[in-house]
Amino acid sequence: MKITTRIISGYGLFIAVLLGLVIYQAITINRMQAISKTLSEINFHNILHCSQALRDLDLVAEYTEKSFRVQDPAYMDKLQESQKDFQKSLAELILHASAGEEQDEVRRLSDQWDSYNADLGLLQQSPSETRNALPLNLQEDLERLYTQTTSVYQTSLRSMSAKVERSRKTADTAVLVLWSATFAALAISILVSLLIIRSIAKPLAYLTEGTRAIADGKFFYRLDTTRNDEFSQLAKDFNTMTLRLNELDELKKDFVSHVSHELKSPLASMRETIQLLLEQIPGPLSEKQKRLLELNLQSGTRLTSMISNLLDLSKSEAGVMEYELKSQDLVPLVRNAIAELEIQAHEKQIQIRAEFPEKPLPVECDPDRTVQVILNLVGNAVKFSPRHADVLVRVEKVERIPEGVPERWRHLITAAGRKDYFGLVTVTDSGPGIPDSDKEKVFEKFHQVKQRKKIASQGVGLGLSICQNIIQAHRGAVWVEDNPGRGSRFMVLLRCGEGGEKVIA
């Protein structure tokens, strides 16, 4: 199901619940309004008319008895007036009586009233004579009227009470439905939100992981395309992109490797030819010719070094560079590297000072590759330090991982297993230093720190990248820190020597 379909379906259900709740509340409110209207306009008026009918009925009974006892026309007028009032109240009750029991009771009251009027009419048509008491049939009619009026009154009260109770129950039901619907809507909204977040967050996490992998140069990374939503198409496009990037990267590596390899042989021949000319085997040279050939040989040497770096980098990236790791004393390796750079340092009038431990310091390393790393770091220190400066190379034994080791190197060392000690090589220069923003980038290939003044014989930015690959294969660490005085400190951490092993990286 597509993400948009999930969102529309989920929130459509949520809106449907809310719409149903609104409709129910509107119906309930209308029902309660109808009940309230009935209570206020009908039942309450019926009770008032019943009360008035009871009062009128008392007057009817009083004047009926007096008119028969006294035979005073004034009482007869009062009787007729009270009868009209009762008739008026009865008419109101008939008009507003609710269907059912109340209407039946009012009908019976009307019948009783008609019976009373009929009996009263018959007695009034009989010969006039003084009576000491009200006739028995009229007394019974009045009693029945009073009883029936009271019954209508009680029925109206019960009807009003029933409607009040129904209104209360309707209100309670409305509150219950409101809370139930509210919790249901809340639960649906939370569930829909969680499902949507889950359906979006997981593929986004994979996409983020894939993007970081591509940023790290892992063009073999692929995303899952089994989903049936928009992220599936995005994953397919991402995989197509990584496939093309991988093809381009492989093409670039093959080109650099082949070109570097093809250049190495003719360049070696050129250097040998120049060396023969400098030795004056073909014939004598003038000083000017000799100087030009020396400059040409130096350029060829630098070019050879660059090509070797390119080949090493290609092997490392292809994962075919071999390392023979074995326990080796670190001090002689550093001494050899310093010795190779003494002539270069002497030309710049730079002194390389070394500090070594008194006892041997065995570390697990490939001797040739370790010397290559030290040569690169000390060579850079000599290259970037000003004339008459000092370059300090210190070798020491440390019991724990130094605090300045970056987290990614610390994780690599920790994953390699616990070691009793480490060998630490520190190369300190007096150069311009490296900004904090470039301390990680200097180990990337072809990256160079921008300098205010161009450094002579500056390379193309492959040496530190090769050093990083070599040290990573040793499961050690290499990083750079600021020199407290001026310049930088490049530091190499190697694990203690144990046994030999062959590694291809």
State whether 252 and 119 are in the same domain. Answer: no
Phi, psi of 78 (to 5 degrees): -65, -40
Decide if pLDDT at 189 tops 60.
yes
Pairwise CA distance, residues 456 & 203, whole Å: 50
487-372-445 Cα angle (round to 5): 65
Contact 480, 434 (CB under 8 A): yes
State whether 35 and 24 are in the same domain. Answer: yes
CA 479 to chain centre: 34
Q: Which of 319, 343, 377 is the last residue of a domain?
A: 319
Q: What's the one-letter identity of residue 298?
A: Q
pLDDT of amino acid 2: 62
Pairwise CA distance, residues 231 & 225, whole Å: 8
Tell me which of 139-153, 187-201, 255-269, 458-472 is least confident: 255-269
Q: Which residue has the tokens 């021949």?
A: 269
Q: Which residues 6+ apart lie within 8 Å of 108 measured at CB?
A: 148, 151
| Residue 223 Cα distances to 218, 241, 486, 498, angstroms | 13, 11, 47, 41
State whether 13 and 23 are in the same domain. Answer: yes
The runs of H, that is alpha helices, within 126-135 are none
State whether 292 and 329 are in the same domain. Answer: no
State whether 129 and 241 are in the same domain. Answer: no
Decide if pLDDT at 125 tops 50.
yes
Contact 469, 316 (CB under 8 A): yes
Query: What domain count does the chain have?
Result: 3
| Residue 400 Cα distances to 174, 330, 404, 411, 476, angstroms | 71, 18, 12, 14, 13
Give me the mean pLDDT over the 347-357 stretch.
Answer: 91
SS3 label, residue 366: coil
Pick from 311, 304, 314: nearest CA to 251: 314
Pairwise CA distance, residues 352 & 217, whole Å: 37
CA 145 to chain centre: 80
Give the range with max mean pLDDT: 61-65, 322-326, 373-377: 373-377
Q: Which of 319, 344, 365 is the last residue of a domain?
A: 319
pLDDT of amino acid 473: 87
pLDDT of amino acid 261: 61
Range of the domain at 479: 321-504
| Residue 194 Cα distances to 75, 208, 252, angstroms | 87, 20, 45
Contact 382, 459 (CB under 8 A): no
Pairwise CA distance, residues 69 & 82, whole Å: 18
For the segment 297-338, what is each residue's pLDDT rounded down to a tens digit? 777 776 776 677 666 666 666 665 778 888 999 999 999 999
Q: Is residue 163 part of a domain?
A: yes
CA 193 to chain centre: 11
CATH of the domain at 244: 1.10.287.130
Q: Which pair of structure tokens corresponds to residue 197?
A: 């977040």
Q: Which residues 6+ apart lie within 8 Å of 126 measured at CB?
A: none
State whether 343 and 437 are in the same domain. Answer: yes
Give me the mean pLDDT over the 426-434 stretch.
Answer: 89
State whether 304 and 349 are in the same domain. Answer: no
State whether 360 and 267 are in the same domain. Answer: no
Q: Which residues 6+ apart lie within 8 Å of 164 measured at CB?
A: 39
In the structure, what pLDDT confidence band is assigned to residue 36 with cuts at 50, 70 and 90?
low
In the structure, what pLDDT confidence band is assigned to residue 477 with cuts at 50, 70 and 90?
very high
Contact 362, 330 (CB under 8 A): yes
State whether 275 and 405 are in the same domain. Answer: no
SS3 label, residue 304: helix
Contact 492, 363 (CB under 8 A): no
pLDDT of amino acid 504: 61
Q: Is residue 349 part of a domain?
A: yes
In the structure, what pLDDT confidence band is assigned to residue 35 with cuts at 50, 70 and 90?
low
CATH of the domain at 470: 3.30.565.10
Q: Is residue 196 part of a domain?
A: no
State whether 314 and 325 are in the same domain. Answer: no
Contact 326, 369 (CB under 8 A): no
Q: Is residue 211 part of a domain?
A: no
Pick from 253, 243, 263, 246: nearest CA to 445: 253
Q: Which residue did the predictor score with more confidence, 488 or 131?
A: 488
Contact 182, 18 (CB under 8 A): no
Decide if pLDDT at 130 tops 50.
no
Pairwise CA distance, residues 6 & 8, whole Å: 6
CATH of the domain at 91: 1.20.1330.10
CA 409 to chain centre: 29
Q: Is residue 362 part of a domain?
A: yes
Pick from 300, 257, 487: nearest CA to 377: 487
Q: Is residue 109 part of a domain?
A: yes
Contact 381, 428 (CB under 8 A): yes
State whether 297 and 333 are in the same domain. Answer: no
Give me the mean pLDDT over the 203-217 stretch.
Answer: 80
0.85 exceeded by pTM: no
State whether 164 and 140 are in the same domain. Answer: yes
For the segment 212-267, what is each residue's pLDDT rounded down to a tens digit? 888 777 777 788 778 777 777 888 888 888 888 877 777 766 666 666 566 667 77
SS3 label, residue 98: coil
